[in-house]
Copies of this chain bind each other. A is one copy, B any other.
């Protein structure tokens, strides 16, 4: 099959990569469309020391149905799996991130239980956003958000714009970004390109920047909550004294539940289409990776059929 491969520090397209073999309880999925996420860009810079086919956002076909898939393939037998924390199974593989060939290919494999069927009304170019939208919904699983809560979201990248759409109907949201052009995609949302100020009950850090955490700490009120969405690979110089003095709660937040994400995309509550900057063939994947890092570019989609 055709696949994008990251190996020895470089990205290349292979035309005759062997298809991945489904183990017992797994399904071979034909990829219809895949999305490039910031984590993929980090992987191409060495994050997680991953080698192989990257990519974890996709919509595909299996058993004659269109499907999306949860990316953590858990062992099913450990304490975490028994406690319903299978996304944290220490024995897991993760699609395109850890020990499992990813979505930038014609085929992938996932455990059957990871797959979710899609409603016919949900077109591929929207469904490919289910995985990052689920990551946005994870915040609602972790923080008990109320309509009167003042919430600040730091960031205006791909993930931040999805988070904004999930949070905006549920609280008093202000999105702080740096790019007027990206913030304009958020209709009916209070946005600002000024330096963030104020006191917020909840601050969501999704800027992906090294300074984001310290800035978020300055915005959250005493006894408030800081949700950390950015995985910044680098260490940063941080002063945690305000966290203790103000008794802040910091919550790390990663992958989330697929069902509410599918529902929100199907109903149009979350509309990612204005975020699609380009749709390119898998054969152009290395150039698509370059494009995904250019200023002003949001989501770049990869079509394995071309």
Contacts and interface: CB of A to CB of B under 8 A. Distances in A.
A27 interface: no
Given A222-B85, A240-B228, A245 B235 contact: no
A243 B228 contact: yes
Given A88-B246, A142-B247, A233 B222 contact: no
A35 to B, nearest CB: 20
Contacts of A294: none
A234 interface: yes
A230 interface: yes
Contact of A237 (B90, B142, B237, B250): B237
Interface in A236-260: 236-241, 243-254
Contacts of A238: 235-238, 240
A56 interface: no
Contact of A252 (B88, B230, B234, B246): B246
A90 B223 CA distance: 12
Contact of A247 (B233, B235, B243, B252): B252
A102 B243 CA distance: 24
B247 A253 contact: yes
Interface of A: 80, 85, 88, 90, 142, 213, 222-223, 228-241, 243-254
